[in-house]
Amino acid sequence: MTSISKKQTSIGKILETRESRMGALIFLVMLYFHVGSLYVFKVGFTWTAFTIFLVSYFVKITGITMGYHRLFAHRTFKAKRWFQFYLALAGSTAIQGGVLWWASHHRGHHQHSDLGEDLHSPITHSPFHAHLGWMWSKECFKPTKHKMLDFARFPEIRFINRHYLVLILLQGVFFYGMGLALEYWFPILETTGSQVFVWGFLLSTVWTWHITFSINSICHLFGSKRYESHDESRNNWIMSILAFGEGWHNNHHKYGWSARNGFFWWEWDPTWYLLKAAEKVGFVWDLKVPTEEQLRDTL
């Protein structure tokens, strides 16, 4: 074996070790959030904590659906630079990876949907692997073919992607500090730092994880197919309600470039409604949607 080959082999082992360690780290982080969420039974329920949970979930899920998914992964619309940054920040609070990393992986998912290279397909892998396990695998952290040069050109997007882990810590401090402030200044609300930390940070994150990941696992197994999308993507109305319109998955895999996933009035798509509202006030524009003729191209 030549010295170059030995060097390449050595680098490969180092990278594999790093990728394996990253997978193990993600597993431990997710385990902490799941176990920590069980403390909801200890900290108890208040309407204040529940309201904070709902607001936190709204920010996280819309950051993923509107930002990470429909803007950064699929470029289905254009946004003012400050609003683009907000969507990247909101998506980062969902703790599903940095914005450029997430969007890059998702572009790969569409390119290889339900084929061997699709890391989160329940067809080529197990439903559990499609739902959670892929995020713990070393393959998850190997360099992707999609370099995200279209959005990596923005320094603020590179910054938020690079400092994603710091944002996780700051978010935890923010929720705990909010709870302490409410406990001190508004004792009538009967909440605490620990309660707000569990409801607003841990529980809302775990809830958003499972809603988002179910689009990979459930929506490639259960539901109806309207279009030939060359994969097993399916429309699931229950997941559309929970995931702000993302459950119209077969629609999406047919026309991934569309800013609208629910193509008809009866297909609940809150992310689309929010985008239309943002368009009205000039935050976004150039929302791409299929034509009437394209919508009739059914199975």
Residues 28-83 have pLDDT tens digits of 999 999 999 999 999 999 999 999 999 999 999 999 999 999 999 999 999 999 99
Q: Which of 89, 86, 91, 85 is nearest to 65 (CA)?
A: 91
Q: How confident is the model at residue 299 (pLDDT cuts 50, 70, 90)?
A: low
Least confident of 133-137, 201-205, 272-276, 291-295: 133-137
Q: How confident is the model at residue 108 (pLDDT cuts 50, 70, 90)?
A: confident
* Identity of residue 76: T
Q: Which of 26, 16, 283, 267 is nearest to 136 (CA)?
A: 26
Q: What gap in Å lies between CA 115 and CA 280, rounded to an integer?
A: 40
Q: What gap in Å lies between CA 230 and CA 250, rounded to an integer?
A: 10
Q: What gap in Å lies between CA 33 and CA 5, rounded to an integer?
A: 42
* Average pLDDT of every residue of the chain: 92
Token pair of 147 as six digits: 């370099």
Least confident of 45-49, 128-132, 167-171, 192-196: 128-132
Least confident of 128-132, 140-144, 232-236: 140-144
Q: Which of 125, 92, 90 is nearest to 221 (CA)?
A: 125
Least confident of 7-21, 35-49, 118-132, 226-240: 7-21
| Residues 6+ positions from 274 with CB-CB distance below 8 Å | 62, 66
pLDDT at 53: 98
